[in-house]
């Protein structure tokens, strides 16, 4: 009973605080600022007035002249510009999109859209194209996470050594990350289609003309771009590993692998959590490089097992790199099914949120074990 009551109190206080932050404090700040200009106290609160439980808590926490309340108000005043922008451009569009996912909005019937409930969500779970996009995105993300982190960690281990031009190497490895995804895709499209094929032999055909090869070609491109950025995270972590531990392990006869496994990995476990989270979210949201590199192609057949799941009589053609972000864009802005596209986006958000939370939880637990 105590826990339940405590939980209710917490929820009520959170709602009160949210109301005060968004509705009360900014007008209070404006009025008090005007009052200071004219040297008049335009807002006065009775400090000795008897109040109810939550009213007193609200007053003591936010509106009184106590040091705690003043610090809370100053914190909100400095936070408000960023909080307002985040609410205006992220929170509000999210809830607006949640509403549109329950309508038959096409982008052309704005104001006349009708509520269809969860029909859009039922539609996308019956869509074999969306299921294929989800599976391909997961496969790509797993391979891409492994490739980026493996190469980034290897590069970091190299450039933290006592090399003559190690700062130059660091800058060179990081440089591809400064190239935009669209530009990067067009550059590597030329490399795959025009440059590498000149070698002939096993390189005579471009990687981008076959579905599975195009997937590995995309991994090469994104790894080349993003590994340098993740490398910097590993460098920062490696430089904080105490050298006396490494030297002591050398004296005790530990080889390079033993030092890496028992000292380096545990000491940089937080860097693994951050790097894994960044590569996971980036891989799932991949869009611009795919569009500029392959336009979502090349075309391939839907796998037989997936055709059987959806009870299809044939194996329809489908784009090999039609990842979730590409599929959502095409549904909304090419097919003009904004409601269905928004339902896909909400589903994508929920899946990515759950996967990210599981990944962070697992990595945090591994940090403790290491």
> What is the tens place of the pLDDT at every residue in 131-169?
999 999 999 999 999 999 999 999 999 998 888 888 899
Question: Is 130 in the same domain as 249?
Answer: yes
Arithmetic mean of pLDDT over the chain: 84
Asked which of 48, 69, 99 is the last residue of a domain, the reply is 99
Q: Quote the CA–CA distance of 48 and 210 in Å, as a whole number.
A: 77
Residue-wise pLDDT for 38-80, tens only, equals 766 666 666 566 666 667 777 777 777 778 777 877 777 787 7
CATH value at residue 148:
1.10.3720.10
Question: Is 89 in the same domain as 161?
Answer: no
Question: Is 29 in the same domain as 161?
Answer: no
CB 258 within 8 A of CB 155: no
Q: Quote the CA–CA distance of 292 and 181 in Å, as a whole number.
A: 8
Asked which of 40, 65, 99 is the last residue of a domain, the reply is 99
Output the pLDDT for position 300: 87
Question: Is 145 in the same domain as 199?
Answer: yes
Instruction: Kindly write down the DSSP assignment for every residue of 5-67, as one continuous string.
Output: HHHHHHHHHHHHHHHIIIIIHHHHHHHHHHHHHTT-------TT----HHHHHHIIIIISSSH
Residue-wise pLDDT for 248-265, tens only, equals 888 888 888 888 888 888
Question: Is 95 in the same domain as 132?
Answer: no
**For residue 271, what are the domain limits?**
121-369
Question: Is 149 in the same domain as 207?
Answer: yes
- In a domain, residue 9? The reply is yes
Query: Across the chain, which distance is largest between two alpha carbons, in Å?
Result: 89
Q: Which two tokens stand for residue 346?
A: 């909400």
In angstroms, what is the C-alpha Rg of the chain? 27
Q: Which two tokens stand for residue 336?
A: 């003009």
Q: How many CB atoms lie within 10 A of CB 227?
A: 24
Beta bridge partners of 317: 301
H or E, element range at 319: strand 317-319
Question: Is 142 in the same domain as 53?
Answer: no
Q: Quote the CA–CA distance of 131 and 293 in Å, as a whole number.
A: 22
| pLDDT cut 70: percent of the chain above it | 86
Backbone angles phi, psi at 268, to 5 degrees: -115, 25
């Amino acid at each position: 009973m105590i826990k339940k009551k405590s939980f209710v109190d917490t929820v009520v206080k959170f709602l009160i605080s949210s109301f005060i932050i968004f509705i009360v404090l900014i007008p209070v700040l404006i009025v008090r600022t005007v009052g200071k200009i004219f040297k008049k106290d335009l807002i006065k609160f009775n400090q000795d007035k008897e109040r109810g439980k939550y009213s007193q808590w609200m007053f003591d926490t936010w509106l009184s002249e106590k040091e705690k309340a003043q610090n809370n108000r100053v914190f909100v005043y400095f936070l408000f510009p960023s909080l307002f922008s985040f609410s205006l451009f992220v929170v509000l569009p999210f809830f607006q999109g949640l509403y549109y996912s329950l309508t038959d909005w096409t982008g052309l019937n704005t104001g006349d859209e009708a509520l269809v409930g969860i029909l859009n969500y039922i539609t996308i779970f019956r869509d074999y194209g969306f299921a294929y996009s989800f599976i391909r995105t997961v496969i790509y993300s797993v391979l891409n996470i492994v490739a980026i982190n493996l190469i980034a960690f290897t590069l970091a281990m190299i450039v933290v050594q006592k090399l003559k031009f190690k700062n130059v190497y660091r800058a060179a490895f990081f440089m591809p990350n400064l190239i935009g995804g669209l530009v990067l895709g067009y550059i590597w499209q030329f490399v795959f289609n025009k440059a590498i094929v000149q070698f002939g032999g096993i390189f005579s055909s471009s990687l981008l003309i076959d579905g599975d090869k195009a997937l590995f070609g995309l991994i090469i491109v994104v790894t080349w771009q993003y590994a340098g950025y993740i490398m910097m995270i590993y460098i920062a972590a490696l430089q904080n590993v105490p050298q006396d531990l490494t030297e002591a392990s050398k004296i005790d006869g530990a080889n390079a692998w033993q030092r890496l496994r028992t000292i380096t990995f545990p000491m940089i476990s937080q860097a693994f959590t951050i790097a894994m989270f960044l590569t996971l979210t980036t891989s799932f949201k991949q869009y611009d490089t795919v569009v500029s590199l392959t336009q979502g192609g090349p075309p391939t057949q839907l796998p037989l097992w997936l055709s059987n799941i959806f009870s299809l009589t044939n194996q329809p053609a489908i784009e090999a790199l039609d990842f979730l972000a590409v599929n959502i864009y095409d549904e909304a802005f090419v097919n003009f099914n904004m409601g269905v596209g928004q339902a896909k986006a909400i589903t994508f958000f929920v899946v990515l949120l759950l996967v990210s939370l599981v990944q962070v939880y697992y990595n945090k637990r591994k940090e403790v074990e290491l």
